[in-house]
Amino acid sequence: MPFLILVVLFLVGAILLTQGRQASGNWIQFFAKGKEAGFTIKDMEQLRKLVAAAQIKDPVAIFKSQKQFELIIRSMVNTVRLSGERGDPTVQYFLSKLFDYFKKIEMEVSENKARISNSRQISEGQPLRVLVAGTGVYKSEVVKNFGNYLTIARPVNSKNSASMQWHGVKISVYFWREDDAGYVFDTEVIDEVFSKGISSLKVEHNESLFRTQKRKSLRVKFCRPAFLYLVDDNDNPHKLEKSAGLMCMLEDISDTGCAFKINGQAAVGLRLKVQFSLDRIPICMPATVRSVEYSQETDTSLVRMEADPLPIGTRNHILCEVFDLLPEDDEDELPFRVLEEEADAASGQSV
């Protein structure tokens, strides 16, 4: 530990000699904050250069400001794109650490804005899971939410629940809020009613919700065509396919998965990989289907997939899209066309 302190002091001293305009206290705090954030001494030296290049007056500000840290990470992404160092593992590792910290800042800010504290704040139409001790789990949704009680659709499950008497029953209600987290609260059924023409239950409000599992990634809307392929677990699931697969339309994307729409009905648990092009770079995301929302009216399914651990370069490139760090492009080429162009170019060079 004493040796590490000497190294830090040495680096701080060197910085003060070359960056005399900066106050010593700021740089000492800079290295201290960086160490708390999980960055190594080598990482901090790279961060220092990025801070200097961005002309940020207060280096400590990057650890508490979305805007300041975005300047840093955007500078790094642009440097990688212009220098052609995308294939350098050391560069990708450092970029990944920057993204991890940036994601942490973004999620903390967005969660604080999105979170709710009581059942009066639940939106109408919110899907619910209702647990009755000793009986089972039922599906429901919020029909109305105002006044002294919450109105939910009469809970149903795969078994015949039409004859169940709900008045006075104590229930636990679970739900997941988009871009927020999961919540649970206990309540009691006040009455069975009809609301908006739907057989419903009035339940008591709860002024204190328990916040359960938080989301693990940031998702962004991503309307783009892609191709689907079945995953062959005997082969490399990350291998890029060179021919068109089953066409789908991506709805959103993150570094941990994606959602897409497809004709027909999909099955939960299916192993698929989705392939698309991002800034003219083919992306392959092998994943497992976790949920399917099927519409009988349109015969389409909204499919959500959880991705396998992605190669670090692929993950970083997807996060560039998530954080809007890639240049504007009217429309990316489809992935297999990019591969065909690369193959043609290589063939031309070899002749």
For residue 257, pLDDT beyond 90: yes
Instruction: Encode pLDDT of 44-94 as tens digits.
Output: 999 988 888 888 888 888 888 888 888 889 989 888 887 777 788 899 999
Averaged pLDDT for residues 147-166: 82
For residue 177, the tally of other CB atoms under 10 A from its CB is 17
pLDDT bin (cut points 50, 70, 90) of residue 20 is very low
| pTM score | 0.68
**Mapped to the 3 state alphabet, what secondary structure does 218-241 carry?**
CCEEEEEEEEEEECCCCCCCCCCC
pLDDT bin (cut points 50, 70, 90) of residue 347 is very low
pLDDT bin (cut points 50, 70, 90) of residue 333 is low
CA distances in angstroms from 146 to 24, 143, 149, 211, 350, listed in the order given: 56, 10, 7, 22, 71
24 versus 203: the higher-pLDDT residue is 203
pLDDT score at 2: 55
- Residue 94 CA to residue 85 CA, distance in Å, equals 12
pLDDT score at 312: 94
- Residue 119 CA to residue 89 CA, distance in Å, equals 48
Assign 332 to helix, strand or coil: coil
